Structure 1
């Protein structure tokens, strides 16, 4: 059941990041990939900064969305000619 929540939160975070940052994916699989990578990046980022968002779904979604936005911005920097 935990894996299903992880995927659903990743999907929502990827979709939100894709709406805020262009090039964030255009399919369900794309949103899930961006969101899952964002969850990992956000978790590390929040841990390094010592920021706590709580343990609820909203906190996890916040961390994943911030991480997904960071991931997309890094991709833009890397892909920039």
Structure 2
């Protein structure tokens, strides 16, 4: 059940990040991956700042979106592409 939870949060976070960052996105599967990796990055950042790395549904999605936005920015900086 945990894997299904990660996929759902990743899908939601990837979708929201795609809308926030404006661009063509990465496609449905890669948006899920970006959301899941973003959740890990966001959780690490929140724990480093002294906040909880996980919580309820809304908190988890917000943390995942934060991490996914940072990941998307890093990908754009490395690749030099603005349309992702």
- Give the shorter-chain TM-score range: 0.7 to 0.9
In structure 2, runs of 5+ residues without a counterpart are none
Partner in structure 1 of residue 39 of structure 2: 39
Partner in structure 2 of residue 52 of structure 1: 52
Kindly report the root-mean-square deviation, in angstroms, between the aligned alpha carbons of the 2 structures: 1.9
Deviating 4+ runs (over 2 angstroms): 22-27, 51-54
After TM superposition, list the pairs within 5 Å mapping 1:2-81 onto structure 2. Answer: 2-23=2-23, 25-52=25-52, 55-80=55-80
Q: TM-score, normalised by structure 1?
A: 0.87
Question: Aligned residues, how many?
Answer: 81
Residues 10-57 of structure 1: per-residue CA shift (max 9 Å, x gap): 000011011111347342202101101101110111111112376111
